[in-house]
Amino acid sequence: MEISDLTGDDLLRVLATLANPHRLRIVAALAEERNYVSQLARELAISRALLQVHLRKLRAAGLVSAVLELSDDGQAMKYYQVTPFALYLTPQAIMVAARTLGEDSYRDAELLR
């Protein structure tokens, strides 16, 4: 994912998703190596339920992906990994993205005020 691939709405979603310390820590941990929920929750010292919430948001924004695999003992394990992305924000890139903002973006912004 590169900034030129994103609409204004997509860019807002990505930036809003990354504007959370837990999600930044999750992306940082997964940038080092892919991992499954229980192990990642232990490493980050957060509950699995809270981790699942943040992983859902990261997946929805296209920042992480998941792969289901069978362990040696036959247990299904979902491994998460970072989806490669490069976001180089420039005034020009923001100008281009802003031109594609949908009406929902303006409504959502008003609700957050």
CATH of the domain at 42: 1.10.10.10
Q: Which residues, in sequence order, are CB contacts of 38 under 8 Å at separation 6+?
A: 48
Q: How far is CA 3 from CA 34, 86, 96, in A?
A: 24, 7, 10
Among the listed residues 21, 26, 63, 57, the one whose alpha carbon sits nearest the alpha carbon of residue 44: 26
Place of tokens 């998703």: 17
Domain count, the chain: 1
Model confidence band, residue 111 (pLDDT cutoffs 50, 70, 90): very low
**φ/ψ (deg, to 5) at 96:** -65, -45
What are the tens digits of pLDDT across the range 50-88? 999 999 999 999 999 999 998 888 888 999 999 998 888
Place of tokens 């989806």: 83
Model confidence band, residue 106 (pLDDT cutoffs 50, 70, 90): low
Model confidence band, residue 108 (pLDDT cutoffs 50, 70, 90): low
Residue 89's domain spans which residues?
3-112
The pTM assigned to this predicted structure is 0.83
Amino acid at 38: S
